[in-house]
Amino acid sequence: MIPKDEDDLLTRSRALCDAMENEDDWLKREVLTHAGNRWAFGVIHALKEGGRLRHAELRRRLGGVTQRMLTRTLRQLERDGLILRQDYEEVPPRVDYELTRLGEEFLLKIIPMWLWIFEHAEDFRQAREAYSTTASE
């Protein structure tokens, strides 16, 4: 189905594979980790929905994240230009985060992938089960 779009995608991804060999490693390592990062997606999504959010508010929305991991995730996202950190330099401290345009685009790019993965969660479970049984015999 949809052979035209698919071919187009593959053609472009072929060029992409060539480019990967020449690219520096940091792009794949630093930026791409966000895609597979457990918290990065939640942070970006929360900022898209909530606008400017503070550290504590983000923690509440994500549920289960420690300060350390939230801080680290935020730092990485900031470094890569996906979010903006604003420190009001008040006492008590007030800092909030907002999504950049780059961050918004990134969110829109990774949502389909996440959706697809969750839609196929059952397939993955079955594949894993089949693998365990064949591996044992």
Residues 44-103 that bind a second copy (CB under 8 A): 45, 48-49, 63-64, 78-82, 102
Nearer to DNA, 3 or 64 (CB): 64
Binding-site size for DNA (CB under 7 A) equals 27
Q: How many other CB atoms sit within 10 Å of the CB of residue 37?
A: 17
Residues 22-51 that bind DNA (CB under 7 A): 33, 37-39
Backbone φ and ψ of 88, nearest 5°:
-85, -5
Query: Which residue reads 């420690």 in tokens?
Result: 66
CA 132 to chain centre: 29
- Taking the chain, what is the end-to-end CA distance rounded to the nearest angstrom? 37
Q: Minimal distance in Å, beta carbon 28 to DNA?
A: 8
Contact flag: residue 96 with DNA (CB under 7 A): yes
